[in-house]
């Protein structure tokens, strides 16, 4: 059993017991408590400092196949009594849905190895400021960096506790440290901005402030004096910061709700080829210190490690209890979405992909939300750098890239430069012969 807050545990027991007394046949109660401290720093000066403490409780009451949920930030006893009564009374007049229920007891999380998700390290404001000051100082060592759009450092500690009337109760603590630096570059009338970002469970795993600042400066400087290009067909390499977005589209398309409703371009693709043979996609919750790691999902279900795509074949969906019952599939612990979702590394290094054609568009930024999960149509504004004969040459802006995810997935070639910087991670990706609309 994991360590959790005894006082919060007592509140959960109280809510479950009283809801049952008032007529609920089943009850689920969740509590999330968090403390966040953030320092913002801009152009060599402290811009803002704040601290936020939040606590939220949710109660879901079932009366057979009727279900209602309520939530509150007030955990005082008198408020909880009103909340419980309101939840149960609302459930009585809610229409029945045969698929409403708590998960099967055999699916509940019971135990696991330590995932090391909580770092007790606390940084005082002055330490956060020193970190950001150093990052900006390093960035300003480049004469072409003339300003910052702001830097920030956040430290967040969270407690999660969940219980239900079927006997499940457990909880755990997490920490998260985030640093961000965005700078402005200028040269001969051209001004651009770019950023670097780092997020880790443990403070010691963050990028050093010197790396944060130097990377932000490098990214902003390489965008100076962008050119426009003529429309045409181009091979495109998507930078790692951009390529991970394809996994977001993919996960949305294989969620239980999208599959059940038929609102997905992958709705009939289970056990069919959707990528090339060399591509594998994994979702794992048990990576130590992983940004997306957790012990159980939002329903208390043990999170299975999923090989979602194996050798290009779609193997599984992301399933919670409700849509699992609709589709006659057991939940695999994805109430709340993915955990640590990633493409496994490709076999070719980035330099090899850069030399695969005489002219390649290297995308470092996309703009807008022009992706349709129902049809797979993809169209976004983009900027980046032209690669010629394997070398970065000049920056590019104000273009639109377009295609359809069905074809794009099949044409993807992955580099071998995967890093775990986010909860969703991807190596660089090459897609040949894409439509680019320029001048």
pLDDT of res. 370: 86
Question: Can you tell me the distance from the alpha carbon of 323 to that of 260, in angstroms, rounded to the nearest whole number?
Answer: 7
Q: How far is CA 127 from the centre of its chain?
A: 27
Burial of 296 by CB count in 10 Å (0-12 exposed, 13-18 middle, 19+ buried)?
Answer: buried
* Tokens at 104, concatenated: 């099967």
pLDDT attached to residue 116? 97
Q: What is the pLDDT at residue 368?
A: 87
pLDDT of residue 101: 96
256 touches 337 (CB < 8 A) = no
10-residue stretch averages of pLDDT, the chain, 439 residues long: 76 97 98 97 91 97 97 94 97 97 96 93 96 96 94 97 97 97 94 96 98 97 94 96 97 97 96 97 98 97 97 98 96 97 96 96 93 96 96 95 97 97 97 93
User: Tokens for 170?
Assistant: 């457990």
Task: Provide the 3-class DSSP secondary structure of residue 301.
Answer: strand
What whole-number distance in Å separates Cα of residue 246 and Cα of residue 424? 10
Query: Which residues, in sequence order, are CB contacts of 286 under 8 Å at separation 6+?
Result: 112, 113, 115, 293, 303, 305
Structure tokens at 37: 């401290």
Q: Please report the domains of the chain, with CATH numbers, ordered by start residue.
A: 6-34+54-107 (3.30.2290.10), 125-221 (3.30.2290.10), 226-439 (no CATH)
- Which residues have CB under 8 Å from 374's CB, separation 6+? 263, 264, 265
- Would you say 432 and 411 are in contact if contact means Cβ atoms under 8 Å apart? yes
Only one residue has tokens 């403490």, namely 53
CA distance linking residue 83 with residue 231, whole number of Å: 59
How buried is 77 (Cβ within 10 angstroms: 0-12 exposed, 13-18 middle, 19+ buried)? exposed
Angle between helices 125-140 and 209-221 (to 10 degrees): 40
Ramachandran category for residue 3: left, alpha or beta (phi over 0 → left; psi -120 to 50 → alpha): beta
Q: How many CB atoms lie within 10 A of CB 107?
A: 21
Q: Count of CB atoms within 10 A of residue 389's CB?
A: 11
> What would the two tokens of residue 80 be?
């909880």
Task: Assess contact for 79 and 15: CB atoms under 8 A.
Answer: no
Nearest-CA neighbor of 350 among 411, 417, 413?
417
Q: How many residues does the chain have?
A: 439
Report the C-alpha gap between 377 and 406 in whole angstroms: 8
- Block residue for tokens 């109430």: 335
SS3 308: strand
Cα–Cα distance for residue pair 381/367, rounded to 1 Å: 5
pLDDT of residue 234: 96
Model pTM? 0.95
Question: Under a CB-based contact definition with an 8 Å cutoff, are residues 199 and 212 in contact?
Answer: no
Residue reference for tokens 């990028």: 207
Collapsed DSSP state (helix, strand, coil) of residue 64 = coil
Give residue 1's pLDDT: 46
The rounded distance, in Å, linking the Cα atoms of 93 and 114 is 43
What one-character-per-residue DSSP string does 386-407 give?
A: EEETTEEEEEEEEEEEEEEHHH
Rounded Cα distance, 346 and 333, in Å: 27
* Cα 30–chain centre separation: 21
Q: How far is 302 from 321, CA to CA, in rounded Å?
A: 12
Q: How far is it, in rounded angstroms, from Cα 301 to Cα 124?
A: 37
């Amino acid at each position: 059993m994991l360590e959790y807050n005894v006082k919060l545990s007592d509140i959960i027991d109280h809510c479950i017991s009283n809801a049952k007394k008032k007529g609920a046949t089943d009850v689920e109660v969740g509590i999330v408590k968090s403390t966040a401290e953030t320092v913002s720093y801009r152009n060599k000066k402290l811009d803002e400092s704040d601290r936020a403490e939040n606590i939220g409780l949710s109660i879901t009451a079932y009366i057979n196949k009727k279900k209602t949920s309520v939530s509150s930030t007030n955990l005082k006893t008198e408020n909880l009594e009103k909340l419980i009564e309101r939840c149960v009374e609302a459930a009585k007049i809610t229409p029945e849905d045969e698929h409403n229920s708590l998960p099967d007891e055999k699916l509940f999380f019971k135990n696991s190895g330590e995932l090391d998700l909580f770092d007790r390290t606390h940084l005082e404001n002055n330490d956060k400021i020193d970190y950001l000051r150093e990052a900006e100082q390093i960035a300003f060592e480049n004469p072409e960096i003339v300003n910052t759009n702001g830097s920030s450092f956040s430290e967040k500690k969270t407690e999660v506790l969940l219980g239900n009337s079927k006997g499940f109760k457990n909880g755990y603590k997490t920490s998260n440290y985030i640093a961000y630096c965005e700078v402005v570059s200028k040269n001969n009338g051209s001004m651009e901005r770019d950023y670097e970002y780092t997020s880790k469970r443990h403070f010691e795993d963050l990028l050093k402030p010197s790396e944060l600042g130097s990377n932000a400066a490098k990214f902003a400087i390489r965008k100076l004096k962008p050119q426009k290009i003529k429309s045409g067909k181009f091979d495109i390499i998507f930078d790692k910061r951009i390529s991970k977005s394809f996994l977001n589209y993919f996960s949305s398309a294989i969620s239980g709700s999208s599959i059940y409703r038929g609102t997905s371009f992958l709705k009939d693709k289970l056990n069919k080829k959707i990528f090339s043979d060399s591509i594998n996609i994994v979702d794992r919750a048990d990576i130590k210190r992983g940004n997306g790691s957790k012990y159980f999902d939002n329903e208390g279900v043990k999170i299975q490690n999923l090989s979602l795509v194996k050798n290009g074949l779609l193997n599984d969906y992301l399933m919670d209890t409700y849509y699992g019952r609709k589709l006659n599939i057991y939940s695999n612990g994805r109430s709340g979405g993915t955990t640590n979702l990633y493409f496994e590394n490709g076999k070719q290094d980035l330099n090899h992909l850069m030399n695969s054609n005489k002219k390649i568009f290297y995308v470092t930024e996309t703009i807008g939300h022009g992706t349709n999960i129902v049809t797979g149509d993809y169209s976004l504004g983009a900027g980046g750098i032209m690669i010629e004969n394997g070398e970065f040459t000049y920056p590019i802006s104000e273009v639109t890239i377009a295609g359809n995810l069905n074809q794009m997935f099949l044409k993807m070639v992955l580099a071998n430069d995967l890093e775990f910087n986010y909860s969703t991670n991807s190596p660089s990706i090459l897609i040949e012969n894409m439509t680019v609309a320029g001048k």
